[in-house]
Structure 1
């Protein structure tokens, strides 16, 4: 019995003491195991490839030793909605993601934060960042974003909106890869401008002026008005203008024009019969008694001078026209009806050279009145009225002397 006790005491006394720290719990164990691996097998501890073991399985146990073993936990990670997992003994998010070979950039969104400590029941989420284009007014830039709403995206990038600004996306719409967020900067400004006001024109009949002539009685003057507009600007460009008020600075002054209604009727010069005494007979011969007799006969009066005197005379280029042409009214610019009075002597003139209504004498035509105008009659040109077309064609074009009689 004593021998058995001694043997047992010797056996126990030769064991090494192993301090085992398993998953944070400490326990001292006596063992004859020569290696760490044999000791763990003796303790029925299976070490996984991701577990933490302070010594290798081949390490020898030849004296008291402290062995630390931490069993790895399985962590679930979601990357852009796709699940993956990692076994590790570390409990920080950053180490867990590294174990899972998930690369993180500064723009990615990780929940919980990288430096937080978690347990196996904690869900780890990673949202990978992607480029998004922001058009802020006239400024365009590329930024990084993760899947979030437009409202959160603007807040994340510190983009503030005024009451008039607008975003051309719904605020609860998700920002997706390749998205473009357009912010329209809107402002209202007041614009005050001065604008001219056209004057009105009034005409009134004047019987002292020849028909077809005009005279400005009162010269018109433009007015001035101040207009106030509310202008809507989008990204610095005007898109809407609304008149809010007007203020008259200067009233417009109407223009009054007198329009002539006077009609001039041409008259034809006619000769006047006169009485002339017949010449006395020759005296009779002396042997014969003298006889005298007086007899009155009618003879034509001396013809009028073919070229009357005038204070103004010059040469003009003369052509002839008729009132019976196709489309012609037969009414002159001064109102003379040539169709009803085919034997009147009328000429068409340039009023700036020969005033309308003037009495004239034309070489080869006689006394006439300047009673008509014509589109081609400019300067020292006249057009002579003929009663029929053949006479007008026969006249042709010639240089003639003209005299202004009044």
Structure 2
């Protein structure tokens, strides 16, 4: 047996047994869904996971120098930004970004700090540091046995940083702190300005290990005699 119910202008035909079975739930079945019922609560939104590579800024180490006038500075070693890989969960509405949440990140390249000498002497004092031969007059000059090393862990005891926490590179050298204190500013003939910023198990007495940016440059040093001007 069938019966017909008219809802507004829309007719629906169902069996009597279905009416008995559905009972109070009948209207939920036969009533058509309204536009509000079918609406997506957040129309046009989408969530995506993306991976991006971002720069990691480098730090700057400023070292006072009596070889430079007050108000002047000299970059001993240029800084290099690092890189990190970041995963984001981003919610878009259409093409517009609505929100962003960082899920994870990892460093894929360590930043290399900038090393800068900052002048701390007046002009007369700074000029007086240089002798007529172009060397640093009135300062201690020592003869040392030099070797070279680079940032690779194999060359640097399993790490790429000095004992003072700076990444190994040109302008940073390893010394025996009983012979030359850590933090001492140096001028090494054939190498340039440097800072005593590292130590080493084999670096004793008049030994000095010259930091380089690459293994090739470090190997070129070999083992040689150098004159080291101690500037402070």
Structure whose CA Rg is larger: 1
Specify which structure has the bigger relative contact order, considering alpha-carbon pairs within 8 angstroms and separated by 6 or more residues. 2
TM-score by length of 1: 0.24
TM-score by length of 2: 0.41
User: When you count strand as a share of all residues, which structure comes out higher?
Assistant: 2
